[in-house]
Chains A and B, each alone.
With several copies, the nearest count.
Chain A
Amino acid sequence: HRNASSTAPLRLGYLPNITHAQALVGANEGTFQRHLGAVPLTLVRFNAGPEAMEALVAGSLDACYVGPSPATIAYVRSHGMVRVIAGAASGGAVLVVRSATQPSDLRGKKLASPQVGNTQDVALRHWLKAQGVEATVLPIANADTLSLFQRGQIEGAWVPEPWGARLVREAGGRVLVDERDLWPGAQFPTTVLVASEAGLRRRRSELLSVVRAHLELTRRWTDAPAAFQTAANDAFQKVTGRRLSDPVLRDAFSRLSPTAELMLPRMLEQAARAVDLGYLPRANLDGLVDPSLLEEVQAPKS
């Protein structure tokens, strides 16, 4: 497909979470396709970030919405085969617990995170370490987390939205930690847009179209949050077959904000945490971010 790059579809991945709202809406409403024009688009859904990164590294994906931790891990492990090209969302991660009222109540309890090495997993483990609390962290798929939480088999879970809101509304959980409170300015990257290094070399123009679409969606979200929430819920229903109830939707979006900013320092901080947890070897992260596309698209048209 190397020489037929004009007809080969561009492959874009995302997770069916509210934290990937731009992807949900863009996929549902054809925003990406519109910007790509004649270039066909293949949208691929993943259950968790690391899986998506595997696909990106294995060459079956060109770009992807993902959390910053998997992106960083993939960058290091693949020796630079992925690049972060834009930010997408900030916030939207909470620790929901059944009964604990303070961190020390979690001592010796079972807590869930979506997947080893994903953004919430790093955040949870780092937080536990910082609090000096020893607890068992189990990587459990979000859907399982809900049922295990309901049945009382886990004490709590550090999850992205809408799962945090669902744990609260549908399983009677309490938000013990809103991750925004842990970062200065309540800003930290939750979702970023990454592209494969090979894609950046061979399909730069199509990736620029994707970034354009991404920026358009981000703007919509910023400008008209309520309408965008509804659009996101429509897309969510189409993908998962289930519609989020209004309270859950509002709750989820209340902790989440759109941003195309790359927030490199915060990402480096997150990477340092991953190194600290033994998920990553210490490595040079100079090439992790490639702001050139964002700059090119945002540059005032001449």
Chain B
Amino acid sequence: MLFPTPVGVAESLIQMERDGRLWTGLGRSMLRLGKGYALSIVLGVPLGIWVARVPFLERAVKPVVLGLQALPSVCWLPLAILWFGLTEASILFVVVMGSLLAIAIATEDAVRRIEPLLLREAGTLGVRGLRLYAGVLLPGALPGILTGLKLGWSFAWRALMAAELIVVSGGLGQLLHYGRELLDVAQVVAVMFSIVAVGVTVDRVLFRAIETRVWRRWGLSETR
């Protein structure tokens, strides 16, 4: 078996940092993730709110969403490739399918959990239409939506890595793949470390910070 030495891994990391492969790969992956994730949020949050508010959508859309959520998002890849070829669009599609549903489900749940008193109050105060959605439903559901965003992020990240390993076209996944092809176990482990670093940073630093702020502002106990 090929085992990596700590020195080898460090050297490989430095090497990839020096010749820019690490940053190119990282940039490419993060760009894809950013696009796909942003799209998921833009589609998923309104979808979740609508499903929660429109009884017809709940009956028609929710079972589909729940069913598709049971599908590992990487399973969308073959279909995406048939549709879009081995292109950026296929990867994006998989990333979106990975996180969109989780975000929509969490949002729907969060909207349903909004204190009914607040909704009634909004009604008596004459808050309707866009103001109701943007001023009451969205902020009211925000703590729950954040949980969904976190979950969605982790799914999107997983989907991206799987897709990049299969559709080898730039990104950290490709670096990983090439490491394997070249039997370069040090590079494989070095890239894995980079992936862990990204994951931990986003999860512990970015999301933790946002969550803490929201929970404090919303006056929720921080026991989680």
Query: In the complex they form, do A and B come into direct contact, defined as C-beta atoms under 8 angstroms apart?
Result: yes
Q: Is the CB of A57 within 8 A of B183?
A: yes
Verify A55–B183 contact, CB threshold 8 A: no
**Interface mask (B147-167 → A, CB under 8 Å = 1, otherwise 0):** 000000000000000000000
Bitwise, B62-97 to A at CB < 8 A (1) or not (0) is: 000000000000000000011111110000000000
Chain A residues with CB under 8 A of B185: 77
Check: A127 CB closer than 8 A to any chain B CB.
Answer: no
Query: Which one of B27-35, B115-123, B174-182 contacts A?
Result: B174-182
Q: Which residues of B contact A (CB under 8 A)?
A: 1-2, 19, 81-87, 168-169, 177-178, 180-185
| Contact mask for chain A residues 204-230; partner B; CB cutoff 8 A; 1 contact, 0 none | 000000000000000000000000000
Q: A55-B86, A78-B183, A116-B177 are in contact. List 13 more A-B contacts (CB 8 A).
A: A47-B168, A51-B81, A51-B85, A51-B86, A55-B85, A57-B2, A60-B85, A77-B183, A116-B168, A116-B178, A144-B181, A151-B85, A280-B182
Q: Is A53 part of the binding interface, using a Cβ–Cβ cutoff of 8 Å?
A: yes
Asked if A139 is at the interface (CB within 8 A of a chain B CB), the reply is: yes
Residue from B81, B87, B182 with most neighbouring chain A CB atoms (10 Å): B182
B195 to chain A, nearest CB (A): 19
- Would you call B86 and A54 a contact (CB within 8 A)? yes
> A54 and B168: CB pair below 8 A?
no
B179 to chain A: closest residue by CB: A116
A117 with B181: in contact, given A58-B83, A148-B85 (CB under 8 Å)?
yes
CB-CB under 8 A from A133, the residues of chain B are: none
Q: How far is the CB of A281 from chain B (nearest CB, A)?
A: 9
- Give CA–CA (A153, B88) in the complex, Å: 12
Residues of A contacting B86 in the complex (Cβ-Cβ under 8 angstroms):
46, 51, 54-55, 138, 140, 144, 148, 153
**Chain A hits for B184, CB < 8 A:** 77
> A116's closest neighbor in chain B, by CB?
B181
Mark A109-131 against chain B: 1 for CB-CB distance below 8 A, else 0.
Answer: 00000011110000000000000
Supply 15 A–B pairs (Cβ within 8 Å), ascending by A: A50-B180, A50-B181, A54-B86, A55-B86, A55-B87, A58-B81, A59-B85, A60-B87, A78-B183, A116-B181, A118-B181, A138-B86, A148-B85, A148-B86, A153-B86
Which residue of chain A is the closest to B186 with respect to CB atoms?
A77
Q: A-B pairs with the 6 shortest C-beta distances?
A: A58-B85, A55-B85, A77-B183, A116-B181, A50-B181, A60-B85
Contacts of B84 in A (CB 8 A): 58, 60
Contacts of A60 in B (CB 8 A): 84-85, 87
